[in-house]
Structure 1
Amino acid sequence: MTTVHPAYAQLRRVTDIASVMLENNPGMMTLDGTNTWILRAPGSDEFVVVDPGDNDEEHLQRVAGVGAVALVLITHRHFDHTGGVSRFHELTSAPVRSVSPEFLRGSGTTLVDGELIEVAGLRLRIVATPGHTADSVSIVIENEGSVLTGDTILGRGTTVLDDSDGDLGDYLASLRALIELGDGRTVLPGHGPELPDLQEISKHYLAHREERLDQVRAALVSLGDSASVRDVVEHVYSDVDPKLWPVAEKSVNVQLAYLRR
């Protein structure tokens, strides 16, 4: 029987190249848990791991146990994707590459927008997609066209923009860049199940963001420019469970910063 998401503690094959190991760390921000992606080209004995997860020894041991890891890539800085970087490097000795220098390990170097990484029979193109965080990237598996999106696009729901370094203008530009990659590309997200068409979901995300932005504008007209973030959240996110309002405040902070620029 073919396994489907969520399937904890097992390697679930998603495409000819990409398999996922779902970490058992569900939560408000992680949904069902963090997806650790494990890439293997046909005929290769080596793997590339994307986002080893947080500092969960059982999860890291399971991922390390798949075989020889040639390279580790990080989509963005959040702890649920990077907390286990040091321990995973100890387990595998594989170099770790990211945008942020703090996660580099071994011979790993900083990721550069547009670069093509050729390793273990894989051709992986880095696409800068900031907005969720300043250091967010997506990774195109050129061998088959699928795209690892980190938290820029999720398998369900929508992305929360980090109000410490997230930027709505950057995020809207990133969504447009993903749309331009074309249709028919499988989405391999940082959380949630895979999706069949990157262009379609990116257009949906873009429309949703623009709708929310219009709602925030309208809220400021109604409430006044001095309205608090919580006032705007209660006005705009009345359709969302109030338990999620503290999370929505992060996105509203980013939206207000965008509008006030």
Structure 2
Amino acid sequence: MTPASGPILQRSSDLTQFILAPNPGPMSLEGTNSYVLRAAGYPGAVVVDPGPLDDAHLRALAAGPVELILITHRHADHTAGAARLHELTAAPVRAADPEHCHGGGEPLQDGVVIHAAGVGITVLAAPGHTSDSLCFLLPDDGPHGSVLTGDTILGRGTTMLDYPDGTLGDYLATLDRLEALGAATVLPAHGPVLPSVESIARDYRLHRQERLGQIRAALDQLGRDATAGEVADVVYADVDPSVRRAAETSVAAQLHYLREEGGQG
């Protein structure tokens, strides 16, 4: 995916397209991918993650009839435009957190199957990045299906754990669940589309295990009571200052896992 000069609908899979939101940054990469889901021949659509409160972006998403708006998790780069998109389309907004539901949309529950715009969508609870994170499985999207992963799996780099709301124990369990989906295409909220969620989930788990090894080594050097900031100084010594807070937050999540969640610290 490359940044667009304006709100342009781009094909991402058989059943999905996306518009790249104009909110690039260290955490959002090129910007938020706002997905538009519909089966061939259906005029209406489902929008996943409206993105920021940007009028041109939201009006582009609202250009065709919108039946439903879904949210992967609470962060503002996914939700800030949701209420406004509801105003533009009258479509209900559904999320795990009732605070981000609008227009009579009911909170989403794990395992619920939604049928809208000719697309079957299975809701998967995916805590770890945040406690309210969801993924949306589209089993009929191409030969292996696809899964919209929000920030649980990114198209490039790795995911921050928003500790204490997100925990590593939950995240590892979510990776297990995603790995079981096999060769489904990964449709991330940031970065490019990826093949095989099974393979990507394995790579993510390996990365976490490597980081845990580095943190254990840092604790051996610094002492078992070292703070997240002290450990981050060792493990993320060369990290860009723009993502230093994210690195320290992820270290805090990993320290909690080692000390409190049975991670054998």
Q: Which TM-score tier does this pair reach, normalised by the shorter chain? A: over 0.9
Equivalence for 2:47: 49
2:132 aligned to 122, 132, 135, which one?
135
Q: Does the CA-based 8 Å contact 1:162-1:251 persist in structure 2?
A: yes
Deviates more, 1:219-228 or 1:205-214: 219-228
Task: Give the counterpart letter for 2:203 in structure 1.
Answer: H
Partners of 1:152 and 1:116 in 2: CA distance:
20
TM-score by length of 1: 0.95
Partners of 1:245 and 1:189 in 2: CA distance:
23
Q: Does the CA-based 8 Å contact 1:70-1:120 persist in structure 2?
A: yes
Q: CA RMSD for the aligned pairs?
A: 1.2
1:146 aligns with 2:159: no
Q: Does the CA-based 8 Å contact 1:37-1:51 persist in structure 2?
A: yes
Describe the SS at the equivalent of 1:208: helix
Note the C-alpha offset of 1:242: 4.7
* Unaligned ranges ≥5, structure 1: none
Note the C-alpha offset of 1:239: 4.9
Identity %: 53
Partners of 2:173 and 2:213 in 1: CA distance:
17
1:223 aligns with 2:225: no
Equivalence for 2:66: 69
Note the C-alpha offset of 1:5: 3.0
Partners of 1:122 and 1:105 in 2: CA distance:
21
Partners of 1:232 and 1:243 in 2: CA distance:
18
Partners of 2:252 and 2:241 in 1: CA distance:
17
1:86 aligned to 83, 87, 111, which one?
83
Equivalence for 2:166: 166
2:123 aligned to 122, 126, 141, which one?
126
Describe the SS at the equivalent of 1:48: strand
Task: Give the counterpart letter for 2:82 in structure 1.
Answer: V
Partners of 2:33 and 2:85 in 1: CA distance:
15
Note the C-alpha offset of 1:6: 3.1
Count how many residue pairs are aligned between Structure 1 and Structure 2: 256
Shift of the 64–176 alpha-carbon distance from structure 1 to 2, 3 Å rule, reads: same
Partners of 2:118 and 2:60 in 1: CA distance:
23
Equivalence for 2:103: 106
Task: Give the counterpart letter for 1:147 in structure 2.
Answer: V
Partners of 2:30 and 2:106 in 1: CA distance:
31
Partners of 2:37 and 2:210 in 1: CA distance:
36
Listed as ranges, the matches of 1:172-183 within 5 Å are 172-183=172-183
Q: Which ranges of 4 or more aligned residues in structure 1 deviate by more than 6 Å? A: none
